[in-house]
Structure 1
């Protein structure tokens, strides 16, 4: 399974709902992720943008489903899920890139 950082910016309507009826948004978020079998590692609120930030572990299909459900809810103006890799995985990718770089001919070089 992959690790994802998801940032979702709450809509004006969502903030109106939270003011009218405060609720534990972490509990609601965990219930949705749990229903799909996605593990939440960390959940934060980004105060400068009004966004929720979730570090989770799941598959691309699970993340697509989460995007569909949350997107259809109207609770968010934007949702962006980014797959993250460890620094060890990035180091391995650098080694692979170094070995195969000569196979690619850039369009600005003939």
Structure 2
């Protein structure tokens, strides 16, 4: 299964609802990814450009996209970005394939 990193931010309205009724959103996130056969590896809140980060494992891109679309379409977030993560082994394999591509920079 592939790993995915998501970065998200709540809307001000969502923060307002959470202040009135605090809840552990890890359980909701776990339920969403498990519904497509995946696993939640971590859930963190943060300071900065994003309010939080999740590390997910999903069977494939379509499964992760379904979770991302469902969450992003729910209206509680102002930002939701997903990055597929590569293992070191996958990156080494990609590096090994680069010679066959024959890339030429523009203008050279």
Q: Normalising by structure 2, what TM-score? A: 0.86
Q: Compare the two structures and name the one with the higher helix fraction.
A: 1
Task: Give 1 or 2 for the bigger CA radius of gyration.
Answer: 1
Query: Can you list the C-alpha shifts for 1:36-95, whole angstroms capped at 9, x where unaligned?
Result: 222111211113345221111112111211122112211110110000101222122212
Q: Paired residue for 1:32?
A: 32
Unaligned runs of 5+ in 2: none
Unaligned runs of 5+ in 1: none
Alpha-carbon contact 2:45-2:52 (below 8 Å) kept: yes
Structure 1 runs (4+) greater than 6 angstroms displaced: none
Q: Normalising by structure 1, what TM-score? A: 0.85
Q: Paired residue for 2:71?
A: 70
CA RMSD of aligned residues (A): 1.6
Q: What is the total number of aligned residue pairs between the two structures?
A: 107
